[in-house]
Amino acid sequence: MSSAALTATRGSEQAERWIDRLGAGLTLILPIFLLHGRAPADVTLSLIGVLFLAQSAMRREWGWLRRPWVRIAAAWWVWLVLCSARTDLGQALAVVRFPLLAAALGYWVFRQNWLRVWVARLLRWSVLYIGVQCLAQFGFGHNLFGWPKGPAGELTGPFTKPRAGPVLSRILFPALLVWGRTRWRQLAVMVGAVALMLLVAQRMPLLLTLFGVALTGLLVKRFRLAAIGAGVAAVLLLAALPVVSPSAAQRVLTQFSKQMSDFGDNHYGEIAARSVAIVKAHPMMGAGFDGFRRLCDQPEYFQGWNGDDGGGAAMCVQHPHNFYMQAAVEGGVPGVLLFAALAVSWLVTIGRGLGGDALRTGLFIAAAIHLWPIAGNTDWVAMPLAGYFFVQLGLALAYASKATPA
Best CA proximity match to 325, nearest among 276, 290, 382, 381: 276
Note the Cα 164 to chain centre separation in Å: 13
pLDDT of 5: 56
The 3-state DSSP class for residue 173 equals helix
Question: How confident is the model at residue 166, as a pLDDT?
Answer: 94
The predicted-structure confidence for 309-344, as pLDDT tens digits, reads as follows 888 888 898 999 999 999 999 999 999 999 999 999
Residues 25-82 pLDDT 10s? 999 999 999 999 889 999 999 999 999 999 999 989 999 999 999 999 999 999 999 9
At residue 107, the pLDDT reads: 95
pLDDT at 406 over 50: no
Q: 142 pairs with which residues across the strands?
A: 148
Q: Given this model, what pLDDT does residue 151 score?
A: 83
Residue 391 CA from chain centroid, whole number: 9
Instruction: State the pLDDT at residue 258.
Output: 62
> Which is nearest to 289 in space by CA: 71, 49, 96, 46?
96
The residue extents of the domains of the chain are 12-61+96-261+352-403
Q: How many Å is the Cα radius of gyration of the chain?
A: 22
Which residues lie below 8 Å from residue 345, measured CB to CB, with a gap of 6+?
A: 68, 69, 72
Measured distance CA(82)–CA(335) in Å, rounded:
11
Q: Confidence band (pLDDT; 50, 70, 90) for 405?
A: very low
Burial of 235 (0-12, 13-18, 19+ CB in 10 A): exposed
Residue 8 has pLDDT above 80, yes or no: no
Do 388 and 96 contact (CB within 8 A), yes or no?
no
Query: What is the average pLDDT across 353-372?
Result: 92
pLDDT > 70: percent of the chain: 93
Query: What tens digit of pLDDT does each residue of 371-398 get?
Result: 999 988 889 999 999 999 999 999 999 9
The DSSP annotation for 40-107 comes to: HHHHHHHHHHHHHHHHHHHHT--GGGGSHHHHHHHHHHHHHHHHTTTT-HHHHHHTTHHHHHHHHHHH
pLDDT surpasses 80 at 262: no
Under the banding of pLDDT at 50, 70 and 90, the label for residue 280 is very high
Q: What per-residue confidence (pLDDT) applies to 73?
A: 97
4, 12, 14, 385 from 8: Cα distances, Å:
6, 6, 10, 42
pLDDT tens-digit readout, 161-203: 889 999 999 999 999 999 988 889 999 999 999 999 999 988 8
Each residue of 218-238: pLDDT tens digit? Answer: 999 999 999 999 999 988 988
Query: What mean pLDDT is predicted for residues 281-307?
Result: 90
Contacts of 404 (CB under 8 A, 6+ apart): 352, 353
Of the pLDDT bands very low, low, confident and very high (cuts 50, 70, 90), residue 12 is low
pLDDT tens, residue by residue, 127-164:
999 999 999 999 998 999 999 988 888 899 999 888 99
**pLDDT confidence band for 303 (50 / 70 / 90):** confident
Measure the CA–CA gap between 22 and 10, rounded to whole angstroms.
18
